[in-house]
């Protein structure tokens, strides 16, 4: 058993094996929700998504909205001018190039305007139920700190390290558990090392991450 597997095993005992089960949602809603979540809180993103989808919930119906209306609907998410532009551009590509269906392949998702690796993996995982590790800032920090990836590893390298070390059946759990570990214990500043469930397996020595 490698280190990643041992740590995930500890987290399963700490959080419970069913703690991070994924509830799938409409892939298009997952995609737009990710765009709205950029540089804002989950609360604000959720509010904006709910308001938007109550007015327009499909790619074509969103394209039919006047741009100013779209901006007002997503205003609670912040940076609404930029996000409106991404939503319009991405939605247009989905309608014109993918017959109105959100792509289910990672490469195709990455071809959409405003869609990066994290968003693509979230759509695959939450929209299509496909195993994927979506590396956010918490997972990136935690993985490097506790030695699951190199101290200078980029997000793509962290993703690769985790997916190679774990069976696909554990990818989604690792995603949720490492993210929660980052929120609960392995914080950006003043991490709670003495309380952390994986302290004995951790190699963190304040290396600036």
CA max distance for the chain: 56
Verify whether residue 136 is a known catalytic residue: yes
Catalytic residue among 26, 47, 130, 136: 136
| 8-43 burial code (b ≥16 CB/10 A, e <16) | bebbbebbeeeebeeeeeebbbbbbbbbbbbebeee
Catalytic residue among 83, 118, 121, 159: 118
Tell me how far apart the alpha carbons of residues 209 and 202 are, in angstroms, rounded to a whole number.
14
Tell me how far apart the alpha carbons of residues 75 and 148 are, in angstroms, rounded to a whole number.
38
Verify whether residue 26 is a known catalytic residue: no
Query: Which helix (H) or strand (E) element contains residue 61?
Result: helix 59-63
Catalytic residues: 118, 136
């Amino acid at each position: 058993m490698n280190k990643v597997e041992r740590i995930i095993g500890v987290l399963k005992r700490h959080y419970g094996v069913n703690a991070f089960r994924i509830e799938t949602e409409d892939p298009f809603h997952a995609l737009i929700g990710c765009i709205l979540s950029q540089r804002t809180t989950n609360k604000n993103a959720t509010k904006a998504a709910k308001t938007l989808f109550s007015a327009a919930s499909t790619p074509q119906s969103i394209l039919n909205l006047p741009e100013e209306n779209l901006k007002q609907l997503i205003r609670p998410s912040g940076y609404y001018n930029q996000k409106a532009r991404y939503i319009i551009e991405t939605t247009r590509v989905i309608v014109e190039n993918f017959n109105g269906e959100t792509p289910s392949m990672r490469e195709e998702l990455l071809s959409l305007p405003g869609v990066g690796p994290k968003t693509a993996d979230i759509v695959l995982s939450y929209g299509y139920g496909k195993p994927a590790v979506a590396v956010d800032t918490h997972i990136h920090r935690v993985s490097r700190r506790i030695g699951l990836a190199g101290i200078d590893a980029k997000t793509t390298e962290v993703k690769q390290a985790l997916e190679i070390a774990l069976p696909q059946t554990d990818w989604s759990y690792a995603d949720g558990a490492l993210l929660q570990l980052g929120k609960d214990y392995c914080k950006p500043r003043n991490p709670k090392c003495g309380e952390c469930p994986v302290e004995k397996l951790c190699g963190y020595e304040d290396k600036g991450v």
